[in-house]
Amino acid sequence: MAKRNRELNKKDIIKTWFHRKKNVHRGSFVVNDEYAIKAKKAWYRARSVYKLFEIQERFDLIKPDYSVIDIWCAPGSFLQAIHQIVKEKTIIWVDIQECKQFSYPNVSTIVCSIFDYDKLSEQVINKVWDDQFDLITSDIAPNTTGRFDVDQYASVELNIEICKFSDRFLKKWWNMLLKVFKWEDFNELVNQIKNRFNDMKTYKPQACRDSSHEEYIICLWKKI
């Protein structure tokens, strides 16, 4: 089935050629790296768009007929990539703060914290008639403190809240994409995912900086 879907949607696949060897800048933070420069030239809001393109190329998570909710979306580069694929299907855009809007008619914005479940749930239900989604995506990250142990645990907590959100708003057998700072608290999140999904895979796109501890989790086939 997956092979057939890839063939049917071949025209929608965005080729990014991530198998090519990239230039590496070890031990330093390079603002204008190759992905940042490429994103700016292509009018994408952030270099992170290429992380999602690479994940899509590898795992084929997004289909043209999918409804998607993107959580913690600022500045919006994930949404730009999603919109290229799903086109006219429903996309909900959630962030804790107001973001610069897009003109896409099928995108609805919700300003709310993932920790405020009741408020967020009410707003999602009010926005869409079919309030369960085919896919949840997130490029979530905490406000960093400079202490990696604190930041990493905050990252895990944010993702656990998204897992709880998926209980109600993700369709059974469908998938979710998360980003986490991976370290010693990672297994706490893994346990939450395994309680809810039949399988999971971890992946670090080449578009991630080498110095970054971020890793993406592909949560596959929701159980209930």
Q: Give the CA distances from residue 67 to residues 44, 83, 162, 170, 196, in Å, rounded to whole numbers and listed in that order.
A: 21, 10, 17, 10, 20
Q: Is pLDDT of 162 > 70?
A: yes
| Residue indicated by tokens 């929701």 | 222
pLDDT of residue 91: 95
pTM of the model: 0.85
Q: Is pLDDT of 19 > 50?
A: no
Q: How confident is the model at residue 32 (pLDDT cuts 50, 70, 90)?
A: low
Catalytic residues: 179
Domains delineated in the chain: 43-222 (3.40.50.150)
Residue type, 129: W
Q: Is pLDDT of 94 > 80?
A: yes
DSSP letter for 11, please: G
The C-alpha atoms of residue 215 and residue 4 are separated, in whole angstroms, by: 29
| Residue indicated by tokens 């909710």 | 69
Q: What percent of the chain has pLDDT over 70?
A: 86
Residues 163-172: tens digit of each pLDDT: 999 999 999 9
The C-alpha atoms of residue 152 and residue 182 are separated, in whole angstroms, by: 7
The C-alpha atoms of residue 140 and residue 160 are separated, in whole angstroms, by: 11
